[in-house]
C-alpha cells in the first residue's frame, strides 16, 4: 500500500471497503475468505473474541495460502467452537490444555521443521499459530509463552484479550484493568473493582523478549489487524499479537457495541495499538478523534459503580491518567502539522 489511507466515515464505523481498489480491501470483505472459524459456533451475540479470531485466522490463512495449523488454549474460543462432535474450525486445530498452547505450538513447529528438513527444505511451507484468551496467555500460560519467545520458536501466538476469565463466569485475570468489576473483584470497599497497581502488560513483556515481531490490534480496526497478521506471517521466529476483544457478557455492554467499545478503547488511549520488532517500537496507530475515557467506561456495567449513586470521579480520573500516560508514552496523537 503506497498511499497512507485513512477512513473518514466518522460515526458509521464502516471500514470503507467500497472506496478501495479490490486488492486493498480486507480479507473479511472478500467472498474468497476462508471462513476458518465458520458459522454455527456457540459464541455469545456480539462476541469480540469470535470476531477477532475469524479476522486473524482468515488473514493468516490468506497469508500462508491455507498452509496453517492452530494450537488453541482452553477457554471461550475453544469451548464455543468445538462441542463434540461439531467443530467450527476449517483448518487443522489442536486443543490440549489451558496453560500450554504456546508450548504445543512450539512442538508443532518443531515437527514441521524436521519434516521440512527431511524434504530438503529450509523452512516448512506450513505455518503455526497458537491462540488463547488473556487468562490462558497472561496468567496460566505465561511460562510456556515466555519459553516459546526466548527460544524464538517459529510460532505466531495470538492473545484475544477480553480482560478476564469469561468462560468460567467473569473472574479477574492479570489483564483485568483497574476499577473493573469482576466476580472476584467486586465493587465493594474503598477500592471497588480491580485494584490499581496490579496486572501486567504482556505486549510490552513480549517486546522485552526482543522477539522478531510484537503487535497489538483491535477488532475495531480490521485493516490494521489484518495487516499485522499478514506481516507476522512473513516473519520466522517467535511473534506475538495481542488483540483487544470486548466481551458483552463480561463487560455488561450491549452486543451491538462491541466494535464501538474497541474503537473507544483505542481513541481514548486506554488500549494503544503499536508494533515492535526485535525489542523496538516501530509504529503506532494514531488516535484520530481523541475521546475521554469516560465515554468508553459509561457503556460498560463493569464500571457502573463509578457513576452510580456514589460516583467515584477520583477513580475515573486515575483511569484517564492511565490513558494520558499511554498517549504520551506511545505518542498516539496525530502531529499538529
Partner 1 sequence: MISQMEGSQAVAQSVALCRPDVICAYPISPQTHIVEGLGAMVKGGTLTPCEFLNVESEFAAMSVAIGASAAGARAYTATASQGLLYMVEAIYNASGLGLPIVMTVANRAIGAPINIWNDHSDSMSQRDCGWLQLFAESNQEAVDLHIQAFRLAEELSMPVMVCMDGFILTHAYEQIDIPTQAQVDSFLPPYEPRQVLDPAEPVSIGAMVGPEAFMEVRYIAHAKQTMALDLIPGIAADFARTFGREAGGLVRRYRCDDAETIVVALGSVVGTLEETVDALRAKGEKIGLLSIRSYRPFPLAAVRAALKDAKRVVVLEKSFSVGLGGVVSADVRMALSGLHLRGYTVVAGLGGRPITQAALTRMLAEAVADTLEPLTFLDLNHDIVNRQLAREAATRRSGPIAENLLRDVGGKSPRTETADKTEVTA
Comparison of 57 and 287: residue with beta carbon closer to partner 1: 57
The whole-angstrom separation of Cα 247 and Cα 116 is 40
Interface ranges with partner 1 (CB under 8 A): 66-69, 71-72, 78-79, 82-87, 89-97, 99-100, 103-115, 117-118, 126, 143-144, 146-147, 150-151, 153
Residue (of 177, 90, 181, 79) closest to 136 by Cα position: 79
181 contacts: CB under 8 Å, gap ≥ 6: 187, 192, 193, 301, 302, 303, 304, 305
Comparison of 95 and 242: residue with beta carbon closer to partner 1: 95
* Cβ(272)–Cβ(330) below 8 Å: yes
Burial of 5 (0-12, 13-18, 19+ CB in 10 A): exposed
Comparison of 144 and 270: residue with beta carbon closer to partner 1: 144
SS3 category, 46: coil
For the CB of residue 204, give the shortest distance to partner 1 in the complex, in Å: 20
For the CB of residue 240, give the shortest distance to partner 1 in the complex, in Å: 16
For the CB of residue 106, give the shortest distance to partner 1 in the complex, in Å: 5
For the CB of residue 83, give the shortest distance to partner 1 in the complex, in Å: 5
For the CB of residue 119, give the shortest distance to partner 1 in the complex, in Å: 10
The whole-angstrom separation of Cα 53 and Cα 219 is 9
8-state DSSP, 304: G
Comparison of 130 and 159: residue with beta carbon closer to partner 1: 130
Comparison of 65 and 310: residue with beta carbon closer to partner 1: 65
Amino acid at each position: 500500500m503506497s498511499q497512507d489511507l485513512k477512513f473518514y466515515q466518522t460515526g458509521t464505523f464502516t471500514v470503507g471497503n467500497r472506496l478501495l481498489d479490490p486488492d486493498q480491501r480486507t480479507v473479511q470483505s472478500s467472498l474468497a475468505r476462508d471462513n476458518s472459524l465458520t458459522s454455527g459456533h456457540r459464541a455469545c451475540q456480539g462476541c469480540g473474541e469470535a470476531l477477532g479470531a475469524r479476522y486473524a485466522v482468515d488473514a493468516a490463512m490468506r497469508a500462508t495460502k491455507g498452509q496453517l495449523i492452530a494450537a488453541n488454549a482452553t477457554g471461550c474460543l475453544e469451548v464455543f467452537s468445538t462441542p463434540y462432535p461439531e467443530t467450527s474450525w476449517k483448518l487443522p486445530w489442536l486443543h490440549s490444555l489451558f496453560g500450554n498452547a504456546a508450548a504445543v505450538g512450539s512442538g508443532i513447529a518443531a515437527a514441521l521443521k524436521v519434516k521440512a528438513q527431511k524434504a530438503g527444505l529450509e523452512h516448512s511451507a506450513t505455518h503455526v499459530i497458537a491462540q488463547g484468551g488473556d487468562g490462558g496467555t497472561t496468567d496460566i500460560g505465561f511460562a510456556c509463552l515466555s519459553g516459546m519467545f526466548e527460544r524464538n520458536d517459529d510460532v505466531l501466538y495470538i492473545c484475544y484479550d477480553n480482560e478476564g476469565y469469561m468462560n468460567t463466569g467473569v473472574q479477574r485475570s492479570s489483564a483485568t484493568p483497574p476499577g473493573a468489576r469482576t466476580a472476584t473483584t467486586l465493587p465493594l470497599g474503598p477500592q471497588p473493582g480491580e485494584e490499581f497497581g496490579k496486572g501486567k502488560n504482556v505486549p510490552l513483556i513480549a517486546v522485552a523478549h526482543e522477539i522478531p515481531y510484537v503487535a497489538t490490534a483491535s477488532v475495531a480496526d480490521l485493516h490494521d489487524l489484518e495487516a499485522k497478521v499478514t506481516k507476522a506471517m512473513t516473519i520466522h521466529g517467535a511473534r506475538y499479537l495481542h488483540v483487544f476483544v470486548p466481551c458483552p457478557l463480561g463487560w455488561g455492554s450491549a452486543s451491538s457495541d462491541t466494535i464501538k467499545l474497541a474503537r473507544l478503547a483505542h481513541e481514548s488511549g486506554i488500549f494503544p495499538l503499536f508494533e515492535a520488532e526485535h525489542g523496538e517500537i516501530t509504529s503506532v496507530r494514531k488516535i484520530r478523534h481523541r475521546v475521554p475515557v469516560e465515554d468508553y467506561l459509561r457503556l460498560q456495567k463493569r464500571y457502573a459503580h463509578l457513576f452510580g449513586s456514589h460516583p467515584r470521579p477520583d477513580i475515573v480520573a486515575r483511569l484517564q491518567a492511565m490513558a494520558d500516560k499511554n498517549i504520551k508514552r506511545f505518542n498516539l496523537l496525530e502531529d499538529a502539522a
